[in-house]
Amino acid sequence: MDKKTCMQRRVKDFCARLLLVDPIARGGKVWSRLNQKLPEAIGAKINDEPRVRKFKAEVERLSFMDRYALKKWLQCKYNKLKDDWENTEHFTGSLEQHCTKWLQIYEEHLAVM
């Protein structure tokens, strides 16, 4: 990303931050809408490559406000899940597997944004 594109992205993010009342709620709706169009998330980088490529293409078509809201929602979900995981001492194997899967999914999707 060149300097001009990076500055434009920052300006758009700043505008979206001012204009959006509840970016987390809007981001959740955007995620749901995109998730219906994408292949199912597996939680393994190799298996999720087609999904992540399609996700990146879909994100590029979003408005700057939807993109900002989605990014905030993904960051919120990732951070909450990670905090919950780190602050809980007793995990069952299935719960640990679930947390690991979704941390991987959120991280991959954030990385392409």
Domain that holds residue 93: 3-112
The Cα–Cα gap between 68 and 14 comes to: 9
Q: Looking at this protein, which amino acid is placed at residue 60?
A: E
Structural domains counted in the chain: 1
Query: What per-residue confidence (pLDDT) applies to 113?
Result: 84
The Cα–Cα gap between 74 and 36 comes to: 16
Query: What per-residue confidence (pLDDT) applies to 71?
Result: 94
51 vs 1, higher pLDDT: 51
Q: Rounded to the nearest 10 degrees, what angle do helices 64-87 and 23-37 cross at?
A: 100
Q: Could you give the C-alpha distances from 30 to 56, 73, 82, in angstroms and in order?
A: 13, 9, 22
Q: Is the pLDDT reported for residue 33 higher than 80?
A: yes
pTM exceeds 0.85, yes or no: no
Under the banding of pLDDT at 50, 70 and 90, the label for residue 1 is: low
Helix, strand, coil distribution of the chain in percent, nearest 5: 80, 0, 20
Averaged pLDDT, 95-101:
83
The Cα–Cα gap between 63 and 41 comes to: 24
